[in-house]
């Protein structure tokens, strides 16, 4: 395979073994960006000069025989909402609220320490408030498989960039599907880790009690390596988990034999399109052939989880955006203005009640489901990927009907 089609782990291991240089890898990605950015608009910024300089330093370190990190010399790109002092983060907006005091991203710091190179920042829905990838200020991100279709959102650039081979991996944010949806629509791997597993310090908040940094990559091993690097306690984020970080990469070798795969008998498969249902069945057959056990599962209270999430997300988003929204409403596009303002109409008592109910509903869900199976088998997107035109509904009421609200 040509270099742009290698996985992250293959590239990292090849740089370490001196089979390829970091500069060659970076130039490969920059050439892909030159070719694809005009078509898909996946990047918010391209950091060509700094990436080339970092690649030269990485190659000098290899030649000097110094210890190398697990991502040494590998170019990554991330949603434009992880802060650095050396550059401005657009947050998907043309006039973002001040972010002074947020500090640098701890997640980016851990990737830097592992030797990764930031080759650019990625397009996103304005303030991460939208599921389709439309952006009135930065321009819409398009699906590289068919540019008239959406890449999904809000981490739209992540799915599109990794699918188009503009970088070997990267991070977005996932509050209600914003990594998983673009990954599904663009045909790459996306992971939303457990809440608290990865630090939020230095990342733009949308709904702080629900936000999770998520991973885009090309293979399960790539995802495992990235998660192993960024997971773990961060003193700057009191909500981050202090649990030990397992060797995720080693677990990739275990396979699926004996794994109990739960197939929900309610809620999640309602309204799934025929082609999607067929692909789901084919994947179950493949997993069963590899030794997995297929188990029917009845999922408790799924509709309550959906409503609970909406109350939490929109209330917390309104708390973050309320003052700026009142003073600078014109700086929000119509759809994002409506989404940000939704939480202003949610009573404080409803938000507090949702927080009180949260742990009990989640515990009942976990106990009922995962006493029966190890994982749930679900469609990430239950319909064919829509077009940009079909989902371009501005701030009208139709925005609530087109695609699941994130």
Establish whether 219 is a catalytic residue.
Answer: no
Can you tell me the distance from the alpha carbon of 140 to that of 134, in angstroms, rounded to the nearest whole number?
A: 5
Which of 22, 90, 93, 178 is an active site residue?
178
Establish whether 178 is a catalytic residue.
Answer: yes
The length of the chain, given as a count of residues: 406
Strand partners, 262: 295, 376
Other beta carbons within 10 Å of 33: 23
Helix axes 22-40 and 48-64, enclosed angle (nearest 10): 160
Question: What HEC string does the chain produce?
Answer: CCHHHCCHHHHHHHHHCCCCCHHHHHHHHHHHHHHHHHHHCCEEEECHHHHHHHHHHHHHHHHHCCCCCCCCCCEEEEECCECECCECCCCCCCCCCCCCCCCCCHHHHHHHHCCCEEEEEECCCHHHCCCCCCCCCCCCCECCCCCCEECCCCCHHHHHHHHCCCCCCEEEEECCCCCHHHHHHHCCEEECCCCCCECCCCECCCCCCCCEEEEEECCHHHHHHHHHHHECCECCECCCCCCCCCCHHHHHHHCCCCCEEEEECCCCCCCCCHHHHHHHHHHHHHHHHCCCEEEEECCCCHHHHHHHHHHHHHHHHHHHHHHHHHHCHHHCCHHHHHHHHHHHHCCHHHHHHHHHHHHHHHHHHHHHHHCCCCEECCCCCCCCCCECCCCCCCCCCCHHHHCCCC
Which of 154, 173, 207, 240 is an active site residue?
154
Closest residue by Cα to residue 118 from 83, 93, 156: 83
Q: Could you list the active site residues?
A: 79, 154, 178
């Amino acid at each position: 395979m040509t270099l742009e089609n290698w996985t992250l782990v293959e590239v990292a291991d090849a740089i370490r073994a001196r089979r390829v240089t970091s500069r060659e890898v970076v130039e490969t990605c920059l050439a892909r960006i030159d070719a694809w950015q005009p078509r898909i608009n996946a990047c918010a910024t391209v950091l060509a000069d700094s990436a080339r300089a970092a690649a030269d330093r990485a190659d000098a370190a290899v030649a000097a025989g110094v210890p190398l990190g697990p991502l040494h010399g590998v170019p990554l790109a991330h949603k434009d909402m992880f802060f650095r002092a050396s550059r401005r983060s657009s947050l998907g907006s043309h006039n973002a609220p001040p972010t002074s005091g947020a500090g640098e991203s701890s997640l980016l710091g851990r990737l830097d320490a592992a030797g990764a190179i930031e080759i650019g920042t990625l397009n996103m829905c304005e303030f991460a408030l939208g599921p389709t990838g439309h952006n009135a200020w930065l321009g819409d991100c398009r699906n590289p498989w068919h540019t008239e279709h959406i890449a999904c959102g809000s981490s739209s650039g992540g799915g599109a960039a990794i699918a188009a081979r503009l970088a070997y991996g990267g991070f977005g944010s996932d509050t209600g599907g914003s990594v998983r949806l673009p990954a599904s629509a663009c045909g790459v791997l996306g992971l939303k880790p457990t809440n608290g597993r990865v630090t939020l310090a230095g990342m733009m908040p949308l709904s702080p009690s629900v936000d999770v940094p998520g991973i885009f990559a090309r293979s399960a091993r790539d995802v495992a390596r990235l998660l192993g690097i960024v997971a773990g306690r961060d003193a700057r984020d009191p909500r981050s988990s202090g649990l030990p970080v397992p060797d995720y990469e080693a677990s990739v070798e275990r396979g699926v034999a004996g794994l109990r795969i739960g197939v929900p008998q309610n809620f999640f498969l309602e309204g799934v399109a025929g082609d999607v249902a067929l692909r789901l069945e084919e994947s179950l057959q493949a997993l069963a052939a590899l030794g997995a056990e297929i188990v029917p599962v009845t999922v408790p209270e799924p509709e309550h989880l959906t409503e609970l999430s909406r109350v939490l997300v929109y209330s917390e988003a309104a708390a973050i955006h309320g003052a700026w929204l009142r003073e600078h409403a014109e700086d929000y596009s119509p759809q994002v203005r409506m989404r940000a303002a939704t939480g202003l109409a949610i009573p404080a008592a409803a938000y507090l009640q949702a927080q009180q109910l949260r742990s009990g509903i989640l515990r009942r869900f976990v106990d009922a489901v995962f006493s029966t199976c190890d994982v749930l088998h679900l469609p990430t997107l239950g319909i064919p990927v829509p077009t940009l035109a079909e989902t371009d509904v501005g701030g009208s009421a139709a925005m609530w009907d087109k695609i699941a609200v994130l």
